[in-house]
């Protein structure tokens, strides 16, 4: 446990030194999207208030997904790269599983921080916020953010240990891009009833559960998916990716 | 305190499994050796001999296929965490944490091993002084020269006061001066009682530093002894090299001389067919040189070069493997 906390501390200290860069990387996209879709387009009467209310939790979940995945993926490529910096961690008195779980926790902290900063930043940038019912309910938001962070980070661990760093660009284009578009970030899952049974296909996308959790937590007036399904999806995907990610981490590190 | 050896390796094997088109590699094929506490032990072998794989198995980063390894009495497969507390390694590739300063590299290593703050700080200061890296305390590792990084890695390794220090080719890539400094440093550590296991493919390094060494090739130990005994194990006990231009081959006559135990014709780079390069393993007893010279004279040959020397480890290696380590 000492080694676990020391490794975590190292990651947090290093991340906080690069905080500006990391936050810029995570927040630029959602902030600009809000500026365009939440401020400019509504003034031109091209976007309705309903869309703005739907978009805020969705952008939070996208922010967390990107921050969580990148927060694990980028350090991992130096760790597993030619110089194998990861060996210094693996030589610490801690199990290999402990090292990989620590990576997930560090990534989740990164993701959660980005998500929690994104929310007020987006609200500030909205035109005439009064029209939009954004009411963070902390008792729901905090556990939602924690689970979303763990899900994103363990997804990052799975991707980072299975995909070679040179394919990272491809990964973002063909995996994360579609996940974001079909992640119920810009529309509520309940609204997908119009698609009939196709709406269940969306449940294969982990981001859907993150978006719906944020929706439940910050926009109480917008209907969200049934809570058991929501919690089940978040927990289920987190467990799945933790198992896959830690396994392939062990395979990649202990030869 | 137990008096178990610092390291025991028994019948170690490691086969890297086949991956895609790459076939399985038998990197280590049954190594056994043991190292006493306080000893300076060397693994000498060419590229691909299996040195790093062996060190990887000892340090728990490579899973052995077979065999048993005990570090200060602790089985590295059964109790990897306990084993890690007792060992430290300076890896072949430099792997300092690039996001920390030199001082933090040391103090965080101390944190990982649960050292209390005061001890951690004091030890980092002491090691930085000892390894003469204090002035780089606030630099990032990647801005340092290779020799400096090597010292930082050694300081890091010593932070948790390991029983056994393993170094994987620590002087490869260093300039002669940095290499000499590192040798002195390792000798200093050894005098203080640190058990050191070093891999290298430099003969001189192995000869100078190691009390005992194993020559490894293709994952097997070819021989294991003190450097002196290894050199004495060569036929004869001295080596006579000779280069001559000669109208007729000298080798058969020389090989038949009393005192010549073994003889070889070496390749000559000049490609001059009349030039003969010979290596004789000899018992440098009375009159041997005279007898050799008279053979050369009576054959009507011009002697270009002759030298009589004590064998080096390199000669041992060439003798054992039939190949030059430096190729
Ligand atoms: N991860 C790996 N997967 C497959 N084969 C490997 C792996 N690591 C090493 N090998 C192979 O195992 C053999 C021994 O390699 P090893 O690195 O142990 O040698 P070495 O003695 O340290 O050599 P060097 O002096 O080049 O460092 C080589 O044939 C090498 O190609
Ligand atoms: Mg090696």
Per DSSP, the three-state class of B319 is helix
Per DSSP, the three-state class of B39 is coil
Tokens representing residue A105 in the block: 């926790």
pTM of structure: 0.83
Residue in chain A lying closest to B96 (CA): A85
Per DSSP, the three-state class of B275 is strand
Residue B227 pLDDT greater than 90, yes or no: no
Residue A238 pLDDT greater than 90, yes or no: yes
**Count of CB atoms situated within 10 Å of the CB of A97:** 13
Mutate to test the interface with A, among B50, B112, B156, B165 (most CBs of A within 10 A): B112
Mutate to test the interface with B, among A88, A99, A250 (most CBs of B within 10 A): A88
Structural domain for A47, as ranges: 2-253
Cβ <8 Å between A17 and B99 = yes
Q: What pLDDT digit, counting tens, does each position of B163-199 carry? A: 899 999 988 887 888 888 889 888 988 998 889 999 9
Looking at every residue in chain A, the average pLDDT score rounds to 85
Cβ <8 Å between A254 and B98 = no
Domains of chain B: 1-86+164-230 (3.40.50.300), 94-161 (no CATH), 235-310 (3.30.70.260)
Per DSSP, the three-state class of B86 is helix
Q: pLDDT tier at A168 (50, 70, 90 boundaries)?
A: confident
Tell me, what's the pLDDT at B188? 86
Alpha-carbon distances, residue A161 vs A85, A168, A236, B291 (angstroms): 15, 11, 20, 69
Q: pLDDT tier at B86 (50, 70, 90 boundaries)?
A: very high
Find residues 160-189 of chain B whose CB sits inside 8 Å of chain A.
none
Q: pLDDT tier at B36 (50, 70, 90 boundaries)?
A: very high
Residue B145 contacts residue B98 (beta carbons within 8 Å): no
Tell me, what's the pLDDT at B271? 66
The whole-angstrom distance between B276's CA and the closest CA on chain A is 46
Residue B327 pLDDT greater than 70, yes or no: no
The distance from CA B104 to its chain's CA centroid, rounded to whole angstroms, is 31
Q: pLDDT tier at B325 (50, 70, 90 boundaries)?
A: very low
Q: Residue A73: which H helix or E strand, with range?
A: helix A49-79
Q: What pLDDT digit, counting tens, does each position of A39-53 carry? A: 888 888 888 777 888
Give B84's contacts in chain A (Cβ within 8 Å).
91-93
Residue in chain B lying closest to A99 (CA): B112
Give A6's contacts in chain B (Cβ within 8 Å).
108, 111-112, 114
Tell me, what's the pLDDT at B326? 43
Looking at every residue in chain B, the average pLDDT score rounds to 86
Tell me, what's the pLDDT at A81? 76
Rounded Cα–Cα distance for residues B319 and B296 (Å): 25
Tell me, what's the pLDDT at B268? 65
Cβ <8 Å between A82 and B96 = no
Q: What percentage of residues in chain B have a pLDDT greater than 90?
A: 36
Q: Does B112 touch chain A (CB under 8 A)?
A: yes
Segment among A15-24, A102-111, A189-198, A233-242 with least mean pLDDT: A189-198
| Number of domains composing chain A | 1
Q: pLDDT tier at A13 (50, 70, 90 boundaries)?
A: very high
Among protein residues, the one with the nearest Cα to ligand 1's atom 8 is B53
Residue B3 pLDDT greater than 90, yes or no: no
Q: Does B60 touch chain A (CB under 8 A)?
A: yes
For residues A153 and A184, the model is more confident at: A153
Tokens representing residue B212 in the block: 């005992």
Residue in chain B lying closest to A91 (CA): B84
The whole-angstrom distance between B27's CA and the closest CA on chain A is 12
Ligand minimally distant from the alpha carbon of residue B65: 1
Ligand minimally distant from the alpha carbon of residue B50: 1
Tell me, what's the pLDDT at A165? 75
Residue in chain A lying closest to B97 (CA): A85
Q: Does B109 touch chain A (CB under 8 A)?
A: yes
Mean pLDDT across A187-213: 83
Residue B14 pLDDT greater than 80, yes or no: yes
Mean pLDDT across B10-35: 89
Residue B320 pLDDT greater than 80, yes or no: no
Among protein residues, the one with the nearest Cα to ligand 1's atom 28 is B48
Contacts of residue B125, defined as CB under 8 A and 6 or more positions apart, other chains included, come to B134
Tokens representing residue A62 in the block: 């996208």
Residue in chain B lying closest to A88 (CA): B95
For residues A49 and B17, the model is more confident at: B17
Segment among A69-83, A123-137, B18-32 with least mean pLDDT: A123-137
Segment among A128-142, B110-124, B142-156, B215-229 with least mean pLDDT: A128-142
Rounded Cα–Cα distance for residues B147 and B154 (Å): 11
Rounded Cα–Cα distance for residues B44 and A79 (Å): 29
Mean pLDDT across B71-86: 92
For residues A25 and B323, the model is more confident at: A25
Pocket of ligand 1 (CB under 6 A): A 255; B 16, 25, 27, 45, 47-53, 92, 201
* Residue A7 backbone dihedrals phi, psi, to 5 degrees: -65, -40
Tell me, what's the pLDDT at B322? 64
Residue B49 CA to ligand 2 centre (angstroms): 8
Identify residues of A whose CB sits under 8 angstroms from chain B CBs. Answer: 2-3, 6-7, 9-10, 14, 17, 78, 82-85, 87-95, 253-255
Ligand minimally distant from the alpha carbon of residue B46: 1
ipTM beyond cut 0.95: no
Rounded Cα–Cα distance for residues B67 and B33 (Å): 12
For residues A182 and B268, the model is more confident at: A182
Count how many pairs of residues, chain A against chain B, have C-beta atoms within 8 Å.
Answer: 72
Residue A81 CA to ligand 1 centre (angstroms): 17
Q: Does B63 touch chain A (CB under 8 A)?
A: yes
Alpha-carbon radius of gyration of chain B: 24
Segment among B125-129, B131-135, B315-319 with least mean pLDDT: B315-319
**Count of CB atoms situated within 10 Å of the CB of B88:** 25
Q: What percentage of residues in chain A have a pLDDT greater than 70?
A: 97
The whole-angstrom distance between B57's CA and the closest CA on chain A is 9
Mean pLDDT across A35-42: 83
Tell me, what's the pLDDT at A119? 83
The whole-angstrom distance between B203's CA and the closest CA on chain A is 26
Q: What percentage of residues in chain B have a pLDDT greater than 70?
A: 94
Q: pLDDT tier at B316 (50, 70, 90 boundaries)?
A: confident
Residue B202 CA to ligand 2 centre (angstroms): 13
Cβ <8 Å between B84 and A93 = yes
Residue in chain A lying closest to B100 (CA): A14
Mutate to test the interface with B, among A92, A95, A102, A164 (most CBs of B within 10 A): A92
DSSP B183: H
Rounded Cα–Cα distance for residues A86 and B87 (Å): 17
């Amino acid at each position: 446990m000492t080694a676990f906390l020391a490794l975590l501390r190292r990651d947090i200290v290093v991340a906080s030194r690069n905080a500006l860069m990391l936050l810029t990387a995570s927040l630029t996209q959602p902030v600009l999207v809000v500026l365009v879709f939440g401020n400019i387009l509504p003034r031109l009467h091209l976007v309705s208030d309903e869309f703005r209310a739907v978009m805020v939790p969705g952008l939070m979940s996208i922010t967390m997904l990107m921050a969580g995945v990148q927060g694990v993926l980028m350090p991992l490529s130096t760790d597993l790269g030619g110089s194998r910096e990861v060996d210094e961690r693996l030589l610490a008195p801690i199990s290999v599983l402990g090292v990989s779980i620590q990576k997930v926790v560090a990534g989740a902290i990164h993701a959660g921080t980005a998500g929690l900063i994104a929310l007020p930043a987006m609200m500030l940038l909205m035109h005439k916020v009064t029209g939009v019912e954004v009411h963070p309910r902390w008792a729901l938001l905090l556990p939602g953010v924690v689970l979303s962070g763990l899900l994103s980070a363990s997804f990052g661990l799975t991707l980072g240990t299975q995909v070679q760093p040179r394919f990272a660009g491809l990964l973002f284009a063909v995996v994360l891009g579609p996940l974001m578009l079909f992640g119920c970030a810009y529309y509520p899952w309940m609204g997908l009833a119009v698609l009939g049974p196709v709406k269940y296909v969306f449940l294969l996308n982990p981001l859907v559960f993150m978006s719906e959790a944020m929706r439940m937590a910050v926009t109480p007036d917008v209907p969200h998916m049934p809570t058991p399904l929501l919690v089940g999806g978040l927990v289920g995907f987190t467990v799945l990716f933790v198992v896959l990610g830690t396994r392939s981490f062990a395979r990649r590190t202990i030869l | 305190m137990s008096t178990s050896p610092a390291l025991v390796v028994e019948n170690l094997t490691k086969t890297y499994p086949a991956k895609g088109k790459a076939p399985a590699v038998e990197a280590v094929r049954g190594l056994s050796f043991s190292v006493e506490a306080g000893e300076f032990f060397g693994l000498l072998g060419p590229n691909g001999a299996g040195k790093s794989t062996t060190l990887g198995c000892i340090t728990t980063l490579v899973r052995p296929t077979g065999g048993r390894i005990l570090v200060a009495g602790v089985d590295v497969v059964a109790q990897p965490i306990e084993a890690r507390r007792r060992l430290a390694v300076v890896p072949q590739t430099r792997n300092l944490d690039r996001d920390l300063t030199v001082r933090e590299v040391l103090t965080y290593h101390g944190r990982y091993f649960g050292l209390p703050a005061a001890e951690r700080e004091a030890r980092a200061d002491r090691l930085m002084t000892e390894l003469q890296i204090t002035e780089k305390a606030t630099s990032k590792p990647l801005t340092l020269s290779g020799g400096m990084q090597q010292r930082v890695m050694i300081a890091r390794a010593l932070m948790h006061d390991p029983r056994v220090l393993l170094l994987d080719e620590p002087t490869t890539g260093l300039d002669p001066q940095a290499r000499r400094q590192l040798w002195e440093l390792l000798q200093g550590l050894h005098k203080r009682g640190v058990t050191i296991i070093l891999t290298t493919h430099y003969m001189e390094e192995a000869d100078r530093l190691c009390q005992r060494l194993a020559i490894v090739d293709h994952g097997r130990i070819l021989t294991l002894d003190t450097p002196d005994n290894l050199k004495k194990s060569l036929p004869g006990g001295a080596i006579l090299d000779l280069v001559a231009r000669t109208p007729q081959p000298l080798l058969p006559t020389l090989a038949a001389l009393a005192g010549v135990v073994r003889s070889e014709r070496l390749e000559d780079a000049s490609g001059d067919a009349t030039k003969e390069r010979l290596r004789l393993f000899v018992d440098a007893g009375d009159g041997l040189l005279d007898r050799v010279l008279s053979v050369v004279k009576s054959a009507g040959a011009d002697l270009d070069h002759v030298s009589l020397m004590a064998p080096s480890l390199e000669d041992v290696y060439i003798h054992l493997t039939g190949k030059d380590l430096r190729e």
